[in-house]
Amino acid sequence: MSDRKPVGEDTVDARQVNAQKSDDGVVQIDNGVVQVDAKPHSDVFQYNMNYSSVGQCVVINNKNFHRKTGMGIRNGTDQDARNVMETFSKLGFKVKISNDQTISQMKDLLTKVSKEDHSQSAMFACVLLSHGDDGRIYGTDDSIELKALFQLFRGDCCTSLVGKPKLFFIQACRGSELDAGIEADGDSDGETRRIPVEADFLYAYSTVPGYYSWRNVAHGSWFITSLCEMLSKYGKQLEIMQVMTRVNHKVALDFESSSNLPGFDGMKQIPCIVSMLTKELYFHK
C-alpha cells in the first residue's frame, strides 16, 4: 500500500483500396484504404519528426454540466488543463484549450481541426477531460460516442495526418465498477504503400472498460497528473509506450482514493493504453 497521503477528496468522472496521389499532392482514398507516398527515413521503425511543427494539441476541458445530464461539477479539472498546457507546450505542441463544450461544439471543433492542413506537422494530439461512460464522453449537455470523434482523424477523413501519430488521452469514467486492489509481493525505402485507415492511433484511457476514473478535487486527476509528470521527465528520452508504461505504474502504485462516500475509500485505478501505432514514437527530433 502506498505511503502517499492524499490532500483533498477524490471523486469520479461518471454518474453515481486503393489510393493514389494526384499531381497536386493530394492523397486519394477508396474502399477504406489509404495510399501513402512515404518520405525515405533513416529508421523505418520510427516516426519521422523532421517537420517544422510537432503539431497541435487540442484540449477539451468540461467542468460544468447542464442539470439534465445529472452530472456534477468536475472540480480539479482546471488543474489538469493547466498541467497539460505546460507539459505539451514544452514538448513542442501548439496547445489550445476549449472549456465547457456541448457535444455539438466538441464535434464541430474537432471536425474543423481534422479538415486543416497538417502537412507540416509531425503528429496530432487531443486531450479530453470530462465525465464519461464506456465508449462515451460527455459534453456539457449530453454524451457522444468517442468513436464519432476519433473517426474524424481516420486516414480517409484527414489525409494530411496519414502515416502520422494521432494521440488521444481520455480522462473520463468508463463505467461504475470500483477496483479495491489486492496485496501483492514486490519485487523506409520510399515505395508507395497501402495502410489501414485506422492505423497510427494511440488511445490512452485513464481507466479500463467498466470502471470509475478518479480525480482529486484539489490536484486534478490521477491519470493526467501522472501523464504530465512522466512526459515531463521522460518525454524526450523514451519511446511513447515506455512513457505510458511508467504512467500505468505510477497510477497503479502511487494513488489510493480518499473519500467520505461509503465504499469509495481506498480504491485503486489502472489506465488502459490501446495502440495502433505502426512505429516507435520519440518526441525528440
**Residues taking part in catalysis:** 131, 173
Count of other CB atoms within 10 angstroms of residue 183: 5
- Alpha helical stretches, state H, the chain: 77-90, 103-114, 146-150, 222-234, 240-254
| Sign of CA pseudo-dihedral 251, 254, 258, 264 | positive
Full strand arrangement of the beta sheet holding 29-30: 29-30, 33-37, 192-196
User: Which backbone phi and psi does 69 adopt, to 5 degrees?
Assistant: -75, -25
**Residue 39's beta-bridge partner residues?**
none
CA distance 199 to 211: 27
Contacts for 5 with CB less than 8 Å, ≥ 6 apart: none
CA angle 204, 206, 211 (to 5 degrees): 125
Contacts for 55 with CB less than 8 Å, ≥ 6 apart: 93, 94, 118, 121, 122, 123, 124, 125, 164
Hey, what's the cell of 194? 497501402
Contact yes or no for 57/197 (Cβ under 8 A): no
Among candidates 224, 205, 218, which has minimal Cα distance to 275? Answer: 205
